[in-house]
Structure 1
Amino acid sequence: MIRLGLTGSIGMGKSTTAAMFRDAGVPVWDADAAVHRLYAPGGAAVGPMRAAFPQAVTDHVDRAALRARIAQDPAALPRIEAIVHPLVAADRAAFAPPGDLAVFDIPLLFENGTEGAFDATLLVTAPPALQRARVLARPHMTPDHFAAMMARQMPDADKRARATHIIETLDLDATRAQVHALIAYHRSLPHA
């Protein structure tokens, strides 16, 4: 099976592109969905997070409370990551769908240095003005929050230099056509 790591900064169209792979019948593992499962009642992160950040946990981990904690104490972020990243990695390792191709939707693929776990990587990208407009159109998003998120992400130019494949998400039809072409390409490889 070919394991394709899908990434892109906030507002670049990663979730939309992942949905296009799903619509084409390609299994997709989603890092954000894994975190939601881990933070939900009974999730594997609830106990360890309660021990470290009791004010942010009831029967589930409250993401808004964690964001507030990080805003007050930036040193909390590495502590949160030390708890959550191994759990997310275990969830990803357990994902073994049938078939010849699987996509792994990982927002911080390059930032976390996990690209080596994949046969190829796909970066979705868009011009900065379009990215900013998409992000600021989201509910509860502010320019300051957007700037803080961007500060934690690798610059798009650096991601472009590291990616195996790049799709610019300017238009839904063109993006979908590129997704289908990429699926066909990977399925045509001798090891597919």
Structure 2
Amino acid sequence: MDRGRFLVGLTGGIGSGKSTVADMFAAHGVPIVDTDAVAHALTAPGGAAIPAIREAFGEAVIAEDGALDRAAMRTIVFGDAAARRKLEAILHPMIGHCCELMIEEATGPYTIVVVPLLVESGRWRERVDRLLVVDCPVETQIARVMQRNRFERAQVEAIIATQATREARLAAADDVVDNGGDAESLAPQVDALHRRYLELAGQRA
């Protein structure tokens, strides 16, 4: 790790509100590196990962516009652990390389890296200085994702089952944002953490 660059890893289960919290830190001028956004860019039409995905999985997972057909791929990987590992072997090194470049180019006292599976990922857990978990009850996650993505409950539960448990995330956390209730409670929590991270980054410098 580059000990001169203070990194906060932001994570949480699907539907927990990671993007909302990341946007609030961005409003403070904090650089945000979002691994999901990087993955979407890599699998967009003409994305760098598309040729390898096409070779590994065939045309059935490529949409008409040349992007990854996420629904088709989701069906494959959620039912087949070997297929999921094959996809991860393609994407994870590319995502990691792109994120490292973005971290190096970031300006500011500290940087937030949004990693949905941070607790499950040994690499990112070792890479960040603080692990921030956005937390909410599982039932809240399910309700949010069903409304946002129009998924059936069983689909959301299947996704949650592939992620670390709520208890495991909280056990690994250095810091927690409670996003299980009133949205107005988020800003004071983020403001306090921002001040704390500025202090820690200043001590590093």
Gaps of 5+ in 1: none
Partner of 1:47: 51
Matches within 5 A, 1:1-192: 1-54=5-58, 55-57=60-62, 59-71=66-78, 73-95=80-102, 96=104, 97-113=106-122, 114-169=124-179, 170-189=181-200, 190-192=203-205
1:101 deviation in Å? 1.0
1:167 deviation in Å? 0.9
* Larger fraction in helix: 2
SS in 1 for 2:149: coil
For the aligned residue pairs, the C-alpha RMSD in angstroms reads: 1.5
SS in 2 for 1:138: helix
1:75 deviation in Å? 2.8
User: Match of 1:11, as an amino acid?
Assistant: G
In structure 2, do the counterparts of structure 1 residues 120 and 144 end up closer, same or farther at CA, with 3 Å as the change threshold? same
SS in 2 for 1:108: coil
In structure 2, do the counterparts of structure 1 residues 73 and 42 end up closer, same or farther at CA, with 3 Å as the change threshold? same
1:136 deviation in Å? 2.0
User: Match of 1:180, as an amino acid?
Assistant: D
1:158 deviation in Å? 1.0
- Alignment size in residue pairs: 192
Deviations 1:22-75 (A, max 9, x none): 112111011111011100122110111011012212522221221132355443
- Identity within the alignment, %: 36
Whole-angstrom distance in 1 between the partners of 2:79 and 2:8: 36
Q: TM-score, with normalisation over the residues of structure 1? A: 0.93
Whole-angstrom distance in 2 between the partners of 1:184 and 1:86: 33
In structure 2, do the counterparts of structure 1 residues 171 and 187 end up closer, same or farther at CA, with 3 Å as the change threshold? same
Whole-angstrom distance in 2 between the partners of 1:70 and 1:188: 42
Whole-angstrom distance in 2 between the partners of 1:116 and 1:72: 29
1:125 deviation in Å? 0.3
1:128 deviation in Å? 2.6
Whole-angstrom distance in 2 between the partners of 1:101 and 1:185: 11
Q: TM-score, with normalisation over the residues of structure 2? A: 0.88
- Once structures 1 and 2 are overlaid, which stretch shifts more, 98-107 or 49-58? 49-58
1:134 deviation in Å? 1.4
Whole-angstrom distance in 1 between the partners of 2:149 and 2:35: 21
1:76 deviation in Å? 1.3
SS in 2 for 1:111: coil
